[in-house]
Amino acid sequence: MSMNMGGAKKLSSKNLHILEDELNHEALLVHKYEQASSQCTDPQLRQLCSSIAEKHHNHFNTLLNYLNSHQ
């Protein structure tokens, strides 16, 4: 890892690939649970799927913020 202008360490190529994979996984999970929620007829199940989609959306944003802080 090297230092950037702000003093934060830059991520290695390997770590960037890992983060990219994790971002893709989280985005896929958000999409799948949003899709499942839209197809549910049971209100409780719909809410559960929406809640899980939101959780993965938060994970995605956390990873993206981490990535952006190391650019």
Residue 1 confidence (pLDDT): 45
Integer Cα distance of 69 and 61 in angstroms: 12
Q: Are 64 and 23 in contact (CB under 8 A)?
A: yes
Residue 6 confidence (pLDDT): 52
Distances (CA, A) of 13 to 17, 65, 68: 6, 18, 15
Q: pLDDT averaged over consecutive 10-residue blocks of the chain (71 residues)?
A: 58 94 98 98 98 98 95 78
